[in-house]
Amino acid sequence: MTLFSSPNCAMSHCARLVIQEKGVAADIEYYDTNEPPEDLLELNPNGTSPTLIERELVLYDSRIIMEYLDERFPHPPLHQMDPVSRATARMLIKRIDQDWYRLLDEMLHSGEKKSARAKKMLKESLTAAAPVFQAHPYFMSDEYSLVDCALAPLLWRLPSLGVDLELLDKSISEYAGRIFVREAFQESLSPEENDMANSFK
C-alpha cells in the first residue's frame, strides 16, 4: 500500500492520520503537487493528493480513502458500528468540509481581502461551536473517531495562519491539545507540518 501525499495539504494529512491510527504498514510518498511523479500520473492522471494505491485499487479522494482504511483495517474502529452513528459521523465530516475547510482553503489560496474575510468567518464559526468542543472529550463523541481525524489537521494549521486557538475558546484549545499529543497524530506529520508546531501554544 502506498499513499502519494502532499507534505502540506490538510486533506492529505487526514489520510495519513488514519493510516497512523490504524497502524497500517503503508509507504508515504511525498511529492510536489506542481510536479507529480510519472508513476502517480500513470495511475491518477490528475496527480491529485492524496492518492492511495493498493494492488489494482486506486483511490484519490481523502474522505473515501479514510472510509476505505477504516473498513479495510477494522481495528481499532474509527466509526461506531451502528448505521445511525456512522451516518451521523459522515454528516459531521461533510459539515466540517463545507463550513470550515472551505474557509481554510480561502485563507490559503485567496487574495488578501478575501483571505482576511475567511479568517474572520472561521474564527467566528469555531467560537460559536465552543459548547460542542466542551461537551465531550472528542468532537461530539466520547470516543476518538474519523470525525477527529478530519478536524485535527485543520486545527493544526490555524496557529501558523494567525489564529490562536486559546483565544477562540479554552475548550477548543484543550480539545486540540488532546488530539495533537496522540502518538498517531505526531507520526502523521510531514516535516513541513511538524514545523507548524512552533505556532501552537
Residue 106, phi then psi, degrees to nearest 5 = -65, -40
Dist CA 200 CA 92 (whole Å): 25
Nine cell digits for residue 152: 485535527
Dist CA 170 CA 20 (whole Å): 27
Q: Which position among 3, 9, 149, 155 bears the catalytic label?
A: 9
User: Is 149 annotated in the active site?
Assistant: no
How many other C-beta atoms can be found within 10 angstroms of the C-beta atom of residue 87?
11
Q: Check the CA dihedral 28-51-76-17 and report its sign.
A: positive
Positions annotated as catalytic residues are 9
